[in-house]
Amino acid sequence: MMTYVDGFLVAVPTANKEAYRKHAEEAWPMFKGFGALSMVEGWGDDVPDGKVNSINSAVMRKAEETSMFSWVTWPDKATRDAGWQKMMASGPPEGAMSEMPFDGSRMIYGGFQTLLGDVGMKAGYIDGTVMPVPADKREAYTAASKKMADLFQEFGAISVVDCWGDDVPEGKVNDFHGAVLRKPDEAVVFSWINWKDKASRDAGWEKIMEDPRMQEFGPHTVGADMGRMIFGSFVPLVDV
């Protein structure tokens, strides 16, 4: 069975960091009880504003807020769908998630099929990415992504995970489609690179950017528009 990922982008008031941590930790037993394997909440550490778009613009981040990159993993889509159905039917347990410490109307979410990588690997320092990829290039993208993952791991990454958009709803306020300015013939890819720590990440990227293989099999080689890729670096706030 193919593991399945629910990906999230959220803007949280920076002053509510500990309240958000508590909120997520209280929610985890419910997710776990309905079959989820793990949950990671990544707190924005270096999330740049892009020329065209960015994670910050996607979640409509305000000056006093921090952008987050988070995910919940499931053993397969069937377990995920059943889990969400049960959660929606039963509601949160008493005391859990009673007051959401962020604006839920601006939360972006979607379901993704795992193309490669260990989704359960403990997080150290996270580079999170969302990008549009031509929908008919899934196999070519996966092949290129495997080569890229080998390159990153050669230069110190612990793991690389790539996930292909499968259940990505349109939101009333914002969504993954608008976040990457997706065109009708494109899919949304949700990915992350896991590093031991920030120092390892910085050293790894310096070497990777100088390596000619980056140009040989990067996502651009299968038609991905890198100008609409959104990305940032995150520190695990919750990792269960």
Residue 97 has pLDDT above 50, yes or no: no
Q: How confident is the model at residue 1 (pLDDT cuts 50, 70, 90)?
A: low
Q: How confident is the model at residue 94 (pLDDT cuts 50, 70, 90)?
A: low
The pLDDT score that the predictor gives to residue 103 is 95
Give pTM, 2 decimals.
0.95
Q: 181, 226 in Cβ contact below 8 A?
A: no
Q: Tell me the domain boundaries of the chain.
A: 4-239
How many CB atoms sit inside 10 A of residue 39's CB? 20
The pLDDT score that the predictor gives to residue 49 is 95
Residue 175 has pLDDT above 80, yes or no: yes
pLDDT digits (tens, 9 = 90+) for 200-228: 999 999 999 999 999 998 999 999 999 99
In words, the CATH class of domain 4-239 is alpha beta
- For residues 215 and 18, what is the distance between their CA atoms, to the nearest angstrom? 41
pLDDT digits (tens, 9 = 90+) for 35-62: 999 999 999 999 999 999 999 999 999 9
